[in-house]
């Protein structure tokens, strides 16, 4: 009925006062809630939405492919704790964005995918509309929540629901379906304004129970070989000061997961990053702060974790269902990390026993041994470069520019950079996350530059870069301070594989030899540089970061240097049955 009334009004078009429409209401609803940036790709039926948003002063970043726009939105969510918005066209554009939405949900990044959709009446009868697809049904299993808005007067509440769903509790991806007809629906402007909703306290604090806090502290106090693991939930929470206080007050060694690096500097005396295997294997009580016991932590069991059942776990997480997901958790502390960590610090009281020195000394010795081993590999000025010598140069770049943002993906390029490049500040390292997805690089780099204004260094395997490389045009178009370094070893894992069938086709994992990725960015007016030594690489990156000009550096890496699947080769099953051809 309401819908009919609105249409009635629009067709009779009485000059009875100011009117608004679906387009404007969506924009006003986002802006009212402090969302001022949209990442997307224009097209039917949302072209005008982007235009009007730009006209209203929003930042609208147009990409070349929705997946990259989606990754950008998701990492904007991680960096700002506000849902990043990705805007796409119907069916195929929606599906392209959906990968990023699912990835956001998996990584607990708040994001809203807004897609235009075709006529409901035709879609539901499957009569073959333009880009026909029941997008809401497709999105549902892949995100935290999915909503469709059919009436202009519901846009305010629909956007409010999407925002709250994305950021409250465990953050995640939300899908918002906007049929073409909704966007052009007209209604009275004053009624429209009144229908908008400013979300109050979108991510309410969740205070842990005092008994849970006490249980956790009792375990921690009694530990002989305690360890704290920081995950990207801890980075997301922006509770940096409280986390530092907890760690320094307890004196317990900490291990940062990849995107948690820098909450405390990797060079902090309590950082056990360089003794990872030792602390995982030998610790007795482990406190997880915003880190899941998923595959990245070997599910909390197996060889990595030493003797079976040798661990007692404490877990701080906002999601109660995460507790006991892989192994039993002796002391769950459910709540938001800021509140939980502060409650722990408060309940610790004035004095806290330092962890036994045989434990901290053993870690220190192991760290020193591993750091010395690594140093010699980093110093080698090998030509062609291997991963270590190239990463040694980039390690110095971040040391000298700790506020720059490092984006990182690839196989060897990822695994080795994670260990080699120390981070000094929170939320400066953005990478493939929970899925290990390839192709996040350019989307993450663009959003990082847009959201923070800081220079971005994107360290990309040549394969990973291929998934998103066209976005260097976007980087140039918006003149963003992004320096992309492609570690070019001629292929996936390495460039030396040959066709096992002996035919003229290249091996499945090999790329064009000696490709010049630097020339891609030159097509769009950016700076391309070709380097073969660590010194050249360091100089080129410094120049790029100082000038803030869009730059792509083709860094030649020894094609024989990589290993299969980097550090996770064991996940890549190998055939035991190979027939001679």
- Site residues (CB under 5 A) for Mg ion? 461-462, 489
Phi (first) and psi of residue 502, to 5 degrees: 80, 0
Compute the least distance from the CB of residue 81 to ligand ADP, in Å. Answer: 8
Q: Which is nearer to ligand ADP, 65 or 292 (by Cβ)?
A: 292
Q: From the list Mg ion, ligand ADP, none, which binds 461 (C-beta under 5 to 8 Å, kind-based)?
A: Mg ion
Q: Which is nearer to ligand ADP, 210 or 320 (CB)?
A: 320
Residues 6+ apart with CB under 8 A from 461: 409, 410, 411, 412, 413, 414, 438, 486, 487, 489
Q: Which token pair is 241?
A: 């000061």
Applying CB under 6 A, among 41, 114, 186, 257 the residue interacting with ligand ADP is: 257
Q: How far is the CB of 391 from ligand ADP (least distance, A)?
A: 21
Stretch that binds ligand ADP, among 255-263, 409-417, 553-561, 567-575 (CB under 6 A): 255-263
Closer of 294 and 565 to ligand ADP (Cβ): 294
Instruction: Pick the closer one to ligand ADP by CB: 410 or 562.
Output: 410
* Angstrom distance (rounded) from CA 266 to CA 422: 5
* Nearest distance, CB of residue 390 and ligand ADP, angstroms: 25
237 touches, from Mg ion, ligand ADP, none (C-beta below 5 to 8 Å by class) = ligand ADP
Asked if 82 and 110 count as a contact pair (C-beta separation under 8 A), the reply is: yes
Residue 103 CB, nearest distance to ligand ADP (Å)? 11
How far apart are CB 552 and Mg ion at their closest, in Å?
Answer: 16
User: Would you give the distance in Å from CA 81 to the centre of its chain?
Assistant: 12
Which one of residues 170, 281, 377, 454 is an interface residue with ligand ADP (CB under 6 A)? 170
Quote the least distance from Cβ 461 to Mg ion, whole Å.
5
**Residue 257 binding: pick among ligand ADP, Mg ion, none (C-beta 5-8 Å cut-off by kind):** ligand ADP
Torsion angles phi and psi, residue 454, rounded to 5: -85, 155
Of 152-160, 318-326, 469-477, 539-547: span binding ligand ADP (CB under 6 A): 318-326
235 in Cβ contact with 207 (< 8 Å)? no
CA 279 to chain centre: 26
Smallest distance, Å, CB 161 to ligand ADP?
20
For 573, the 3-state DSSP assignment is coil
CA distances 297 to 188, 262, 277, 475, 571, Å, are 55, 19, 11, 35, 14
For residue 147, give both structure tokens.
């909503």
Residue 485 near residue 556 (C-beta atoms within 8 A) = no
Size of site (CB under 6 A) for ligand ADP:
24
Give me the half-sphere count of Cα atoms (radius 13 Å) on the Cβ side of residue 57: 6
The site for ligand ADP (CB under 6 A) is made up of: 107-108, 170-171, 231-233, 236-237, 257, 259-260, 290-292, 294, 296, 317-319, 322, 336-337, 434
């Amino acid at each position: 009925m309401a819908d009919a009334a609105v249409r009635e009004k629009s067709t009779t078009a009485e000059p009875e006062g100011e009117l608004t429409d679906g387009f404007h209401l969506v924009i006003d609803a986002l802006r009212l809630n402090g969302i001022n940036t949209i990442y997307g790709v224009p097209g039917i039926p949302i072209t005008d939405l982007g235009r009007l948003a730009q006209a209203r002063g929003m930042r609208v970043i147009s990409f070349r492919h929705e997946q990259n726009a989606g990754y950008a939105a998701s990492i904007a969510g991680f960096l700002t704790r506000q849902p990043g918005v990705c805007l796409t066209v119907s069916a195929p554009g929606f599906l392209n964005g959906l990968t990023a939405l699912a990835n956001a949900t998996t990584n607990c990044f708040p994001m809203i995918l807004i897609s235009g959709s075709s006529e409901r009446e035709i879609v539901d009868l499957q009569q073959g509309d333009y880009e026909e697809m029941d997008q809401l049904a497709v999105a549902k299993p892949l995100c935290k929540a999915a909503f469709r808005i059919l009436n202009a007067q519901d846009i305010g509440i629909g956007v409010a629901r999407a925002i709250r769903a994305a950021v409250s509790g465990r953050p995640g991806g939300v899908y918002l379906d906007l049929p073409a007809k909704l966007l052009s629906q007209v209604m009275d402007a004053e009624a429209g304004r009144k229908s908008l909703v400013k979300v109050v306290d979108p991510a309410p604090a969740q205070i842990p129970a005092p008994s849970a806090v006490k249980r956790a502290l009792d375990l921690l106090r009694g530990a002989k070989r305690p360890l704290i693991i920081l995950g990207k939930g801890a980075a997301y929470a922006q509770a940096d000061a409280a986390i530092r206080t907890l760690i320094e007050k307890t004196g317990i060694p900490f291990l940062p997961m990849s995107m948690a690096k820098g909450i405390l500097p990797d060079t902090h005396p309590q950082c056990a990053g360089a003794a990872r295997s030792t602390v995982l294997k030998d610790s007795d009580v482990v406190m997880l702060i915003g880190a899941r016991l998923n595959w990245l932590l070997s599910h909390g069991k197996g060889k990595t974790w030493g003797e079976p059942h040798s661990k007692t776990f404490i877990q701080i997480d906002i999601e109660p269902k995460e507790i006991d997901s892989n192994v039993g958790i002796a002391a769950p502390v459910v709540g938001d990390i800021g509140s939980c960590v502060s409650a722990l610090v408060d309940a610790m009281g004035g004095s806290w026993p330092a962890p036994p020195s045989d434990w901290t000394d053993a870690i220190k010795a192991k760290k020193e041994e591993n750091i010395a081993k690594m140093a010699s590999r980093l110093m080698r000025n090998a030509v062609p470069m291997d991963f270590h010598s190239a990463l040694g140069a980039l390690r110095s770049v971040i040391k000298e520019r700790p506020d720059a943002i490092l984006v990182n993906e690839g196989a060897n390029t990822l695994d080795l950079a994670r260990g080699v490049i120390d981070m000094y500040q929170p939320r400066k390292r953005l990478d493939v996350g929970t899925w290990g997805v390839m192709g996040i690089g350019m989307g993450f780099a663009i959003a990082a530059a847009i959201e923070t204004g800081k220079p971005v260094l994107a360290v990309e395997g040549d394969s990973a870069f291929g998934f998103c490389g066209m976005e260097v045009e976007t980087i140039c178009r918006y003149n963003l301070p992004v320096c992309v370094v492609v570690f070019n070893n001629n292929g996936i894992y390495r460039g030396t594989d040959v066709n096992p069938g002996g035919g003229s086709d290249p091996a499945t994992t090999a790329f064009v030899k000696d490709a010049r990725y630097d020339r891609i960015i030159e097509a769009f007016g950016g700076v391309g540089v070709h380097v073969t030594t660590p010194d050249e690489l360091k100089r080129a990156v410094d120049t790029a970061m100082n000038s803030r000009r869009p730059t792509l550096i083709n860094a030649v890496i020894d094609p024989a240097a990589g290993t299969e699947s980097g550090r996770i080769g064991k996940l890549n099953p190998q055939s035991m049955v190979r027939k001679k051809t």
